[in-house]
Structure 1
């Protein structure tokens, strides 16, 4: 099935363009305590779909819909488990080769292999990628346009030349990137359509730690993670006095992010000119939150009846009163035990 035919099947042309991806991470380690020597993890649109490690020697689905793949193809898990077993032995040998090339003996060493592809659901363009890392640094990268390996390190030149001169190997690399992986990405997207292609809008709040702190526009509960959030003044996006936070995962699989705005040089009269904009990829309408002082949630401010508030707006009078009652209670208990002790001594 061609990619554009697949897009029509899913009805994606009516939505905004989205880049979908499939990534396979393979890691072999040497002398890392309490960690499997080999680990394989698969991701579709940054959602984990499978896990394999050398301790269990079992390929485990991480999404319920992945079980449907095995139902339709009973040999799928068995075949992919065999691939992981082969990669384990192959990459284990690579570590020994690289240890020799870097003049290393024992110690902890890690070899990583990343292979995958991504495609634009509007244009149908496919891009593949392969990267090799050793001990936390780039060792080799694959150029999809020239179908050749690039060596960022001198120690990688020998491997680069050997692989680039192997025409059969390079033809296989090109086939997997341009044909096999896009095919599987399309197939898995079809199986996990209801989960992977869902959109969930966030709740957006304005937060402030203290009256002099920046105002944070906080969005949480959105999916997928292809989202933007920014401050706008008079309809123009702001870049000064703005600090954008990272997109972080929530425990339920959704995401959160925030953007701070420094208002120290803004007069109260100008606050109405500012607004926070949240945009989720694939969703037409943005969520716009006007900068309104009364809507800001803060740890410091006024209570509902106008009294001075402490943290979380809790009345300071109630806090002080509670402390006084607690102290009186403690004094009473201590006095009782002292009285009881004195009476016992007098007997």
Structure 2
């Protein structure tokens, strides 16, 4: 059971009054493109840590969690070995379930869910430990009697075996009612302190082409509780405005944008518009005036295309030359003049041959 010791490292907390922490362990067979074993830590439907038998290492999904656990390589190695050990324990339980359900081939998915709930106003703590098989409830632990509840006849044999295993039952009771809440409270305090951080963004005006909307883009702010909008003469605009979603950056900060359609705005009225960024907990807004001089764009004005005029000029020259040639030939026939060639050197480097007709 030592693999279970990894689970408290996955604890996650959030800001509501009642905090719930769940650990999902899943073993499967016959499922394509899915690992044999995975462990996921989830709080209020938010995944905070992950491990599977393919990657064989723990992945933390929240930046604050990574900072809490730190970069101790020995600790991370212990985490990895604990997960690998519990993989074997859980595999044995899965094989037992399949045998007692008389299931051999096909798809098999066994899931264990253990967790705790803590109300930080009343102090009430609830814990749960249960198993499911192929999406159906299979067996669960009654923490008051320390006996297992078997809703299916196929789980009765497992119930009797586990009821006798007092050390196993005491461990689970301690884990879901003591260890899990203790870790949860510790992580709650760390999470709250991390939320006090505020980072102001850099704000830029962007435009793809002169006819495109102007995008007011803010990046690098934290936390994500922010809003951004365009206003005209001090009044917030709702028409010709498109709001983008708040997106995460790789460093844990966030970015967002809001577009303004200027197709019906004259250049003289641009000075009446401004972009406003507002971060929760910060008194001063970041205001960016709509100014063509500060707009950043990748658009480059195309140079004048002289291809067609050049082609036209060449064509006219050829036609004119042809007309002159015909005229001269006719004239030479009338005068019965002969051709002769004159050669001369230009700067001693170039020899030009001219056919002169008189």
Provide the TM-score with structure 2 as the length reference.
0.48
Whichever of the two has the greater Rg, that structure is 2
- The structure with higher relative contact order (CA 8 Å, sep 6+) is 1
